[in-house]
Structure 1
Amino acid sequence: MKKLSTALMFGSLLSTSAMAAQWHMPTPYGDGNLPTQIAYGFAEEIKEATGGDLDITVHSGGSLVKHTEIPRAVKSGQVQLGEVFLGILGNEHPVYKHDNIPFLATSFEDAKKLWEAAKPAVAAQLDKGGMTLLYAVAWPAQSLYTKMPVNELADLEGSKMRAYSPSTSRLADLMGTTPTTIQVPDIPQAFSTGIIQAMLTSPSTGVDSQAWDYVNYYTDVKAWIPKNIIVVNKRAFRRLDKSTQEAIMTAAAHAEAKAWEGVADRAASDKAKLVENGMNVSDPSDKLVGELQAIGETMIAEWKAEDPEAVGAILDAYNK
């Protein structure tokens, strides 16, 4: 991370003064994605609310910090806040895995309910790690991209499946494929060079990476609805005056509301773009749905076994 320190030349990133504070917010995704657009609006609202006393620069597309390094950068204070795909934290604690479990919550209504059930536990774990939860942005439901039509899991046998979190690695195993970790910027090359032959991801990621250039089929399995979370270094936040803290939390609440309002429309428009660019878009066969639902039941049971108390509380709250 020496390059980051040199490039930023912050001195102490956690200090504030009478002068305007300049904060930096790395995000993993490009400007065309809804989470990044929400982040720009969040930063602008804070700047306006504080009269420019707090100016947040959004660094999109992993341009400042690589995706997998963002949580560490926020924890250590190398940056004050950042955005991360919640599922990649799954190895740190099971509560972070709640939105990567197939067929637990497949509609936006259910996904929002699941987030409300899991949010207190997620916030508590982040706090232990020196971070404060600000807001979350849901992605469209994750569906299947392949070079060939898939009517049952046997059609994927021997394939290498993109993985991007502990839960998606386990899912790939249960689907009879080989999990291969690939981050979003590397997806096109991974397909074109044969490193992977399939992936489960959102229509938005498919549009962003121009999936029609390297795969032909999109099977709309709607397996789960994951989220990004935006976190702030706890010490940096606490050193702000109360009015600035309130401005941040107000902007965060507005950002999350806008995200839930916008994600359904973005899902529909991005799926339409896949069709416009020649991809074969179809609903899954009953057999494929049944096979994936069975995997989902297995993964829910395994997830609960990791921490019966914490995960059980989330499931109980969700199922009320």
Structure 2
Amino acid sequence: MFITRRTVLSAAAGAAAFAGPARAQARWQMATPYPDGNFHTRNVRAFVEDLQTRTNGAIQVQLHTNGTLLPMPQIKRGVQQGQVQMGEILLSAYGNEDPFFEVDGIPQLVTNFDEAKKLMDLARPYIEARFQRQGVSLLYMVPWPPSGFYTNTAVESIEALRGTRMRTFNVMTNRFATLVGASPTLVQVSEIPQAFATGVVNAMVTSAATGVDTQAWDYAKFFTNVGFTFTRNAVFIQRRALDGLTAAQQAAVREAAAAAETRGWQMAREAAESQQAILGQRGLTVSAASTALMEGMSRVGRTMADEWVTRAGDDGRALIAAYRAGT
């Protein structure tokens, strides 16, 4: 029997109705845009297995990786509409929907994992409230390791990026490219190698983990670590699906999510070193940013922070004030 993507989605849509207090059983679909080897995906898989164990198999989740069921721009809507019951997204990629989701995409706002954790904890109530209004519940968030520039020439200053064709993946990277005089082009993770190979882009800023996932040594020569951002992935569930569980099962979902968040942060810290080392081993010239480059990054970061506060309104101003009060 030939099973189409539409068939899978139709079956997934019916799973939410199947999950209810009377049956206390759930057969869910989950979509993530990242490949199997990525640490986020490995963490999601561990979360799914933990959830199934904690509920004695009452909750079964079929995980679809690498955007095979839904591409990243469609995952959140897919969960809201019940095409899938759970999903994972890069939160800042949804900045066009709500600028508040972009806060972790402000360059140099946070410079280490501890600051990233503080910003996440402060932002969480705002994100949870927004998700609740949209019919989904936030389960956990995990950051990407700090990002760097992938190029074929050395980047000694911010001016070296002028005139490049830069791969972007959210509103903030698009704005950054514009501010430094590059031409921004939206490219999903799975499409990066082809975009470089065909000349659509010739520079990007992203984590070492994504560089390894996409075998950056095949299309770039330099990785310059600037600690650009610590953007976060969010894992979430359709509220109707969650509400259809028993109280004990809902608690199990929350407990598995809390464990996944703790585990994911540790995996992110480990990936920051291990993945960058792999880039060097495979032939990229890996270097720290020069003083001149970091000064340029700071200038652009301040501009983008001011712009973001204007777009994010009262919630944005309150968040930045709370964050800066403790740093």
- Aligned letter for 1:246? A
1:275 aligns with 2:280: yes
Alignment match of 1:220 (pick from 225, 243, 265): 225
1:246 aligns with 2:251: yes
Contact persistence 1:153–1:176 (CA under 8 A): no
Match of 2:155 in 1: 150
1:166 deviates by 0.8
1:181 aligns with 2:186: yes
In structure 1, how many angstroms separate the alpha carbons of the residues matched to 2:53 and 2:236? 20
RMSD: 1.4
In structure 2, how many angstroms separate the alpha carbons of the residues matched to 1:93 and 1:19? 34
Match of 1:112 in 2: 117
Match of 1:13 in 2: 15
1:231 aligns with 2:236: yes
Which 4+ stretches in 1 moved above 3 angstroms? 2-5
Match of 1:196 in 2: 201
Alignment match of 2:50 (pick from 42, 45, 51): 45
Task: After superposition, give the CA deviation of every residue in 1:263-309 in whole Å (9 maximum; x if it has no partner).
Answer: 11111000000010111011111111111110000000000011331
Listed as ranges, the matches of 1:302-313 within 5 Å are 302-313=307-318
- Aligned letter for 1:6? T
In structure 2, how many angstroms separate the alpha carbons of the residues matched to 1:174 and 1:21? 48
In structure 2, how many angstroms separate the alpha carbons of the residues matched to 1:125 and 1:45? 27
- Aligned letter for 2:240? R
Which deviates more from structure 2 when the two are superposed, residues 180-189 or residues 13-22?
13-22
1:31 aligns with 2:19: no
Contact persistence 1:212–1:279 (CA under 8 A): yes
1:8 deviates by 4.1
In structure 1, how many angstroms separate the alpha carbons of the residues matched to 2:4 and 2:132? 28
Match of 1:209 in 2: 214
Q: Secondary structure at the match of 1:71?
A: helix
Q: Secondary structure at the match of 1:12?
A: helix
Q: Secondary structure at the match of 2:16?
A: coil
In structure 1, how many angstroms separate the alpha carbons of the residues matched to 2:10 and 2:312? 42
- Aligned letter for 1:135? Y
Contact persistence 2:161–2:181 (CA under 8 A): yes
- Aligned letter for 1:228? N
In structure 2, how many angstroms separate the alpha carbons of the residues matched to 1:160 and 1:120? 37
Q: Secondary structure at the match of 2:15?
A: coil
1:86 aligns with 2:85: no
In structure 1, how many angstroms separate the alpha carbons of the residues matched to 2:137 and 2:207? 27
Task: After superposition, give the CA deviation of every residue in 1:66-104 in whole Å (9 maximum; x if it has no partner).
Answer: 111101100111110100001111111121011100000
1:242 deviates by 0.7
Which deviates more from structure 2 when the two are superposed, residues 15-24 or residues 249-258?
15-24
Structure 2 residues not aligned, in runs of 5+: none
Contact persistence 2:51–2:252 (CA under 8 A): yes
In structure 2, how many angstroms separate the alpha carbons of the residues matched to 1:128 and 1:7? 27
In structure 1, how many angstroms separate the alpha carbons of the residues matched to 2:299 and 2:4? 46
In structure 1, how many angstroms separate the alpha carbons of the residues matched to 2:48 and 2:296? 43
Contact persistence 1:5–1:78 (CA under 8 A): no
1:266 aligns with 2:271: yes
Contact persistence 2:10–2:83 (CA under 8 A): no
Listed as ranges, the matches of 1:58-69 within 5 Å are 58-69=63-74
Contact persistence 1:152–1:291 (CA under 8 A): yes
| TM-score using structure 1 length | 0.97
Aligned length: 319
- Aligned letter for 2:264? A
- Aligned letter for 1:317? A
Which deviates more from structure 2 when the two are superposed, residues 9-18 or residues 190-199?
9-18
1:117 deviates by 0.9
Task: After superposition, give the CA deviation of every residue in 1:28-61 in whole Å (9 maximum; x if it has no partner).
Answer: 1011111101111111111111110101111111
In structure 2, how many angstroms separate the alpha carbons of the residues matched to 1:135 and 1:223? 22
Q: Secondary structure at the match of 1:240?
A: coil
1:295 aligns with 2:310: no
Which deviates more from structure 2 when the two are superposed, residues 260-269 or residues 201-210?
260-269
Contact persistence 1:47–1:53 (CA under 8 A): yes
Alignment match of 1:98 (pick from 96, 99, 103): 103
In structure 1, how many angstroms separate the alpha carbons of the residues matched to 2:312 and 2:199? 37
1:156 deviates by 2.0
1:19 deviates by 7.0
